[in-house]
Amino acid sequence: MASPEIDALTQILSRLPGLGPRSARRVVLHLLKRRETALGPLVAALQAVEARLVTCGICGNIDTHDPCSVCADPRRDPASLCVVEEVADLWALDGKRLFAGRFHVLGGRLSALEGVRPEDLGIESLVSRVSGGGFREVVLAMNATLEGQTTMHYLADRLAGLDVSVTMLAHGLPVGGELDFMDEGTLAMALRARKPVA
């Protein structure tokens, strides 16, 4: 069809999440037709990121600085720590400015199936970070999955002896959730965690 270079670019793009062969071709055409306004800026932006990519030595976030922009931000509450499984979770909670403290990225979740053990995750660094003192609260913001909750309980055990309040995210109906469309697990959880009407 096209030249080998264009084919190679289309293939690489089609492997990105959310893109397939058709949408990758659309993106390539868009870029080819806008060399100055789209292709050039994209190359420059990718190179700028690639050249400086580092993992934050404090929290495990991926950024172009170490410490990362989150850890370096002085306006954040230094006594509040949110533990997440992945960088994506950090971005989700932080991008919407939902949590204004510090973060700690585990880099995954405990999984017997996938053979992920505690020593494969950033758990020792979390424990020593919290042991170092200065934290009032640690929020365990794991996914509401079996493995996420297993990880959450493991972390709660590990942090139990320390002088810090350990909390977890609430579970229940999502905002706008209709009972009709909820799975049994969510319904059971929402029932079990029911509260008196204020």
Binding site residues, a copy of itself, CB under 8 A: 1-3, 5-6, 8-9, 12-13, 15-19, 23, 25-33, 35, 38-43, 45-50, 52-53, 62-65, 68-69, 87-88, 91, 94-95
Tell me which residue has tokens 């973060």.
103
Alpha carbon of residue 148 to chain centroid: 13
Gap between the Cα atoms of 57 and 60, Å rounded: 6
To a copy of itself, the closest distance from the beta carbon of 162 in angstroms equals 29
Residue among 23 and 131 whose Cβ is closer to a copy of itself: 23
The conformation of residue 7, written as its DSSP 8-state character, comes to H
Residue among 103 and 135 whose Cβ is closer to a copy of itself: 103
Residue among 66 and 137 whose Cβ is closer to a copy of itself: 66
175 burial level (CB within 10 Å; 0-12, 13-18, 19+): exposed
**CB atoms inside a 10 Å sphere around CB 188:** 12
Which residues contact residue 181 at a Cβ distance below 8 angstroms, ignoring those fewer than 6 apart?
Answer: none
Dig out the tokens for 56 from the structure. Answer: 């934050």
To a copy of itself, the closest distance from the beta carbon of 106 in angstroms equals 14
To a copy of itself, the closest distance from the beta carbon of 61 in angstroms equals 8
To a copy of itself, the closest distance from the beta carbon of 7 in angstroms equals 9
To a copy of itself, the closest distance from the beta carbon of 133 in angstroms equals 28
Residue among 65 and 117 whose Cβ is closer to a copy of itself: 65
